[in-house]
Amino acid sequence: MVTNIAVYHFVEVDSPESLAATLSASARRNGLLGTVLVAPEGLNLFLAGEDDAIADFLRALRMDARFAGLRVKYSRSAAQPFARLKVKVKPEIIAFRRDGASPLAGRAPAVAPRDLARWIAQGRDDDGRRLVLLDTRNREEVGHGSFAGALALPIDNFTDLPEALAPHRPALADATVVSFCTGGVRCEKAALWMRAEGMDNVLQLDGGILGYFEEVGGYGYDGRCFVFDERVALDPELRPLCATMAARENGQA
């Protein structure tokens, strides 16, 4: 079995090129494959390899004080889901190109997965406000699955979200809006931007869909979560499609 990790961390990086070179060397030394993105605002990575190799890579990364509190999402696969290692330096770890969306000055308020599950069951938040789940992913990802009844915008790129959201803003004014995405990067930026634009009723789902699956499972979620590797999409037990089908055939799912 192969261990897969998804990690993002917003922190000021004064020399992205130097950090990228360090991470590239560490990943290659440990035989890891996947994608590493580094930007002045932090890092975003999806890597896979043997357990000990993943542990060694994370141990070295956390020795850097900027990443000591790194939060990691784990999943398993029967085979290596990446064909090669790609390390890139970008202006942002996820392109949004909007002012007011930088998490370096502070995070947007978040709701924990178990609290969101309770709100979904109630149909409202703990203050009695109606709940709207806002999917910040693109239409291809949404096609694999989303929270039941979520507001999904017809976008192909994250940078299109502000324009696509504009017609919905009046109808969201009386709701508690929870933005969500795959692992937390996009919904964190989106929530910050929306709050900067005057939508002070917006929260982010802490850890994204993958964090929700890990902590809660699939309650309130229909389908699978698209991921950016050869597994294509994971079910609420963090299994890829082929593993899910095999388990069903064997009467285990």
Picking from 32, 60, 89, the residue at the C-terminal end of a domain is 89
Same-domain pairing of 28 and 129 = no
250 lies in a domain? Answer: no
Any idea what the CATH number is for the domain that residue 53 is in?
3.30.70.100
222 near 235, Cβ under 8 Å? no
223 and 123 both lie in a single domain? yes
Is residue 249 in a domain?
no
Q: Is the pLDDT of residue 248 over 80?
A: no
Q: What is the pLDDT of residues 77-98, one digit of tens each?
A: 999 999 999 999 999 999 999 9
pLDDT-based confidence at 105, cuts 50/70/90? confident
Q: Is the dihedral of CA 152, 158, 161, 164 positive or negative?
A: negative
Q: Judge whether residue 249 has pLDDT over 70.
A: no
Mean pLDDT, range 183-195, rounded to an integer: 95
Band of residue 242 on the pLDDT scale cut at 50, 70, 90: low
132 and 230 share one domain: yes
The string of pLDDT tens digits covering residues 28-50 is 999 999 999 999 999 999 999 99
Termini Cα distance of the chain: 19
Residue 95 domain-assigned?
no
The answer on 112 and 85 residing in a single domain is no
Of 89, 118, 148, at which residue does a domain stop?
89
Q: How many residues does the chain have?
A: 253
Total-model pTM: 0.89
The total number of structural domains that make up the chain: 2
Name the catalytic one among 181, 187, 225, 242.
181
Q: Are residues 76 and 38 in the same domain?
A: yes
Q: Is residue 246 very low, low, confident or very high in pLDDT (cuts 50, 70, 90)?
A: very low
Looking at the fold, whether 171 and 78 belong to one and the same domain comes out as no
User: What is the rounded distance in angstroms from the CA atom of residue 35 to the CA atom of residue 20?
Assistant: 11
223 within a domain of the structure (yes/no): yes
Question: Could you list the residue range(s) of the whole structural domain that residue 84 is in?
Answer: 2-89
* 242 noted as active-site residue: no
Q: What is the DSSP string of 154-173?
A: --SSGGGHHHHHGGGHHHHT
DSSP β-bridge partners for residue 46: 6, 35
pLDDT value of residue 195: 95
Q: What is the pLDDT of residues 123-158, one digit of tens each?
A: 999 999 999 999 999 999 999 999 999 999 999 999
Residue at a domain's end among 43, 60, 89: 89
* DSSP class per residue in 114-141: HHHHHHHHHTB-TTS-EEEEEE-S-HHH
197 lies in the same domain as 229: yes
192 located within any domain: yes
Q: Are residues 108 and 83 in the same domain?
A: no
* Pair (71, 108) in one structural domain: no
**Residue 141 belongs to domain with CATH number:** 3.40.250.10
Identify whether residues 21 and 139 lie together within a single domain.
no
Q: Let me know if residue 98 belongs to a domain.
A: no
Write down the pLDDT at residue 85.
98
Lowest mean pLDDT among 50-54, 70-74, 163-167: 70-74
Residue 113 maps to a domain: yes
